[in-house]
Amino acid sequence: MTRAVRSPIGLISPLRYSRLSRLACFQRTPSQVCTFSTTPTYRFKSTLLKFDQKKNDSNTTSSKNKKPNDKNGANGANGDPNNPFGNLKWKDWVIPSILMVIVLNGFAASGIDNGAQMTFQDFKTNYLEKGLVKKVNVINGTYVQAELLSGMPRFAGFSIGSPDFFDNEMDAVQDRLGIPTNERIPIAYETRTSVWSYLIPFLPTVILIGGTYYLIAQMRKKGPNSKGGPFDSIMNVGKSKAKLFNQDTNIKVKFKDVAGCDEAKEEVMEFVSFLKNPQKYERLGAKIPRGAILSGPPGTGKTLLARATAGEAAVPFLSVSGSEFVEMFVGVGASRVRDLFATARKLAPSIVFIDEIDAIGGAREKSPMRANDEKEATLNQLLVEMDGFDSSDHVVVLAGTNRPDMLDKALLRPGRFDRHIYLDKPDIEGRKAIYKVHLRPIKMKDAVTDMFAGRLAAMTPGFSGADIANCCNEAALIAARHSADFVELKDFEQAIERVIVGLERKTRILSPQEKKTVAYHEAGHAICGWYLKYADPLLKVSIIPRGQAALGYAQYLPADQYLISEEQFEHRMIMALGGRVSEELNFDDVTTGAADDLQKVTKMANAMVLKLGMSKKLGTIVFEPKDTQMQVHKPFSEETFEVIDIEIHRLIDDAYHKCKKLLTEKLDEVDKIAKELLKKEVITRDDMIRILGPRPFEEKNDAFKKYLLPKNEDGGENPHSDSGEPAPAS
């Protein structure tokens, strides 16, 4: 039984082998204990080697063994798609794992001080037979700890198969050495239990109770700013998803950050004044306005203005999108509305902002087929909540929409959203002011002058506040890409072009013939624009492909204008046809390049005839049905329909012939511009003047004249004044 087995790393008795392997197993996680790899012996050997070589080192060994196991554990939790706890955060499994490891370590240690490790055989020959042993302790009937005489290691330890066998062996050795019975080494028997052995039976219960407590805590998490834990969506389906912005922390927006919409600001100012000082109004018996609809095209600052209102009034701001009320289940939307208003009342004075209110506030179905009960229930709840305010509630409701015409009339009734504030796209002065706001954080070389902001504003007619914000950011990105220290005008010019027509696509290679077609097409547009009185000022023409579809483009600067005359319409149509006509005049064949132009022309002619009363034959009648979807019959006779057809054709044909006449006269100029384009790819207004001479009409865009036109090209010095030679095409 004590016969030693020779192994490559030393002598190991079978007895000790089994004991140590059990110890090693305790220090591993269950998954590895059960694993049979192709090199199991190697693992045991290395563990044993460490036991042999290092004294009192069991902890280090176990920690070394633990590392790869922990890693396995982590992979198990995160990497396995079937793992139901795959979504839990690291905290959720790290803490239990650490507890587990502590428990297992404690269990493994079991309170035994191992001392110098050896086999019984070694103990016998090295200590027992030499009389170096003072006392022997048999622990738990399986392990022996021998106290040695001084000068030796203090303890020696080894495992035994059974206490009886050990007793007999001890007696046998001492008999052999002739030691009298009363001087024999005392053997004590001891039972040691670790505190862990008491605790471990309770462990599953503790884990179970802790886990349940954690899950319930997760479910209870709610409120306007709930983080949305794994159980949130089920428990909080009827809760409002509004985001709460608190004055002290989140809302830094003030009225000074909203530029170019002074009237709108003035209107909402009243709400601010009310929220700050309600007594001033209530004292005189005035009812406080409940809410306002902020409408206008996308990106004109509706959300921004609402936030600024909250910022100025220094009250909590609850922001929610109309679409967040819409759910599959009936009643959820209504419940969310109720919850939103309950929260707002609790936080009062406060502002509720419902963006895209058309998602729930759209006109209710008139048909008996009740298309959308859920939407209606939500809207009704909203109406009820707004009616339910009394003036002491001090809650103001602002709502944003791009389609105020779609809203249910009941919403707009006095006592609900009784103010309607319209935010239009900014005009030149508005854009200038918005540029000044968004240029503030941009690092420029010189201070931003009025002229500089004006120049950018003049270059970007039709831009919304959001476009301007985007443009300023793009300019800074472009400058950063060139590792510049400052952002300059040229960066802004590039950014504007990018926002208008998209990225340059240098990789889109046109064949020489295609390039030529594009050049003559664009030259046709440019020449028409140059010689037509009402054409907008031209900034540049380019034949570098850009964005999704444009192979070439011309950048014009339309003035901010609110009325368009018949003649202006005609000139726009001629300009739009210039590309196609130039192709016809310069090549044997025409291409698809004019598709977009033709669409524009047709749309304009349609509008002139059907909506704007610009056809003498048809007179000042609107033919366009208001609600095209509901229209079954045309609101006019077959004869009128024919006349409409003829008139639309006539308008387009007229424009076409005038365009052809103009370009035939200016064929040389078209040729020159096209050649210049082929040479340089991009030509500017200066190139046009160099090749064609100054434009024969004074520019009509004041912003252009003020901010962009070089001084020597200005008004009076222009050889052709407004009253001079009429436009050749007119």
Q: Please state the closest distance from residue 556 (CB atom) to ligand ATP, in A.
A: 24
Of 45-53, 221-229, 245-253, 591-599, the segment contacting Zn ion by CB under 5 A is: 591-599
Q: Does position 597 bind Zn ion by CB under 5 A?
A: yes
Q: Shortest gap between Cβ of 569 and Zn ion (angstroms)? A: 18
Contact assessment for residue 448 and residue 457, using Cβ atoms and an 8 Å cutoff: no
Name which of 242, 423, 428 is nearest 340 in CA terms: 242
Question: How near is the Cβ of 225 to Zn ion at its closest, in Å?
Answer: 52
**Span of 131-139, 299-307, 412-420, 572-580 interacting with Zn ion by CB under 5 A:** 572-580
Task: Name the segment binding ligand ATP (CB under 6 A); options: 121-129, 189-197, 254-262, 705-713.
Answer: 254-262
Q: Nearer Cβ to Zn ion, position 324 or 597?
A: 597
Rounded to whole angstroms, the Cα distance separating 701 from 135 reads: 111
Q: Are strands 116-117 and 133-139 parallel, antiparallel or unpaired?
A: unpaired
In the complex, least distance from residue 275 CB atom to ligand ATP, rounded to whole angstroms: 20
Give the CA-trace dihedral at 647, 651, 656, 657, to 10 degrees: 90
List the single partner that 579 binds among Zn ion, ligand ATP, none, CB under 5 to 8 Å by kind: Zn ion
Per CB under 6 A, which region of 23-31, 33-41, 257-265, 344-352 contacts ligand ATP? Answer: 257-265
Closest CA relative to residue 65, chosen from 47, 42, 48: 47
Report how far apart, in Å, the C-alpha atoms of 545 and of each of 58, 318, 550, 646 are: 72, 45, 6, 37
Question: 400 is in the binding site of which of ligand ATP, Zn ion, none (Cβ under 5 to 8 A by kind)?
Answer: ligand ATP
Residue 431 in the binding site for ligand ATP (CB under 6 A) = no
If one asks whether residue 291 binds Zn ion (CB under 5 A), the answer comes out as no
Which of Zn ion, ligand ATP, none does 333 bind, CB closer than 5 to 8 A by kind?
Answer: none
**Pick from 579, 655, 688, 704: which binds Zn ion (CB under 5 A)?**
579
Q: Please state, in angstroms and rounded to a whole number, the distance separating the CA atoms of residues 331 and 337.
A: 10
**Interacting positions 60-79 with ligand ATP (CB under 6 A):** none
Q: How far is the CB of 342 from Zn ion (least distance, A)?
A: 57
Strands 538-542 and 682-684, sheet pairing: antiparallel
Cβ 377 vs Cβ 332: under 8 Å: no
Integer Cα distance of 418 and 727 in angstroms: 50
Residue 356 vs 597, nearer CB to Zn ion: 597
Site for ligand ATP in 344-403 (CB under 6 A): 355, 400, 402
Q: Nearer to ligand ATP by C-beta: 148 or 259?
A: 259
Q: Which of 73, 157, 260, 545 binds ligand ATP (CB under 6 A)?
A: 260
Q: Which of the listed partners (ligand ATP, Zn ion, none) does 402 bind, with a CB threshold of 5 to 8 Å by partner kind?
A: ligand ATP
Shortest reach from residue 260's CB to ligand ATP, in Å? 5
Q: What sign results for the dihedral spanned by CA atoms 510, 514, 516, 519?
A: negative
Active site residue 429: no
The smaller minimum CB distance to Zn ion, of residues 550 and 612, is found at 550
Residue with tokens 């793009």: 474
Count of C-beta atoms within a 10 Å radius of residue 58: 20
From the list 259, 292, 407, 677, which residue makes contact with ligand ATP (rule: CB under 6 A)?
A: 259
Of 245-253, 330-338, 420-428, 573-581, the segment contacting Zn ion by CB under 5 A is 573-581
In the complex with ligand ATP, the residue whose CB is nearer, 303 or 582, is: 303
- Contacts for 574 with CB less than 8 Å, ≥ 6 apart: 528, 532, 655, 658, 659, 662, 729
> Following CA atoms 21, 22, 24, 30 in sequence, which dihedral angle do they give, to the nearest 10 degrees?
120
- 61 interacts with, out of Zn ion, ligand ATP, none, CB within 5 to 8 A per kind: none
- 258 makes contact with ligand ATP (CB under 6 A): yes
299 binds, among Zn ion, ligand ATP, none (CB under 5 to 8 A by kind): ligand ATP
3-state percent helix, strand, coil for the chain, nearest multiple of 5: 55, 10, 35
Query: Which x/- pattern over 289-328 shows residues binding ligand ATP (rule: CB under 6 A)?
Result: ---------xxxxxxx------------------------
In angstroms, what is the minimal distance from the CB of 594 to ligand ATP? 33
Count of beta carbons in the 10 Å neighbourhood of residue 407: 22
DSSP for residue 625: -
Report the nearest approach of Zn ion to the CB of residue 594 (Å).
6
439-478: contacts with ligand ATP (CB under 6 A): 465-466, 469
335, 385 in Cβ contact below 8 A? no
Residues 267, 522, 583, 676: which is the catalytic one? 522
The answer to whether the Cα torsion of 538, 544, 547, 549 is positive or negative is: positive
Q: Is 128 exposed, middle or buried (0-12, 13-18, 19+ CB in 10 A)?
A: buried
Provide, rounded to whole angstroms, the least separation between the CB of residue 520 and Zn ion: 11
Per partner kind, with CB cut-offs from 5 to 8 A, the member of Zn ion, ligand ATP, none near residue 335 is: none
Instruction: Identify the burial level of 283 via C-beta atoms within 10 angstroms of its C-beta, where 0-12 means exposed, 13-18 middle and 19 or more buried.
Output: exposed
Residue whose beta carbon is closest to ligand ATP: 465
Question: Within 13 Å and on the Cβ side, how many CA atoms surround 460?
Answer: 34
Q: How many helices (H) and strands (E) does the chain have?
A: 28, 16
Provide the binding-site residues for ligand ATP, judged by CB under 6 A.
258-261, 298-304, 355, 400, 402, 434, 437, 465-466, 469
Provide the binding-site residues for Zn ion, judged by CB under 5 A.
579, 597
User: Which of the residues are catalytic?
Assistant: 522
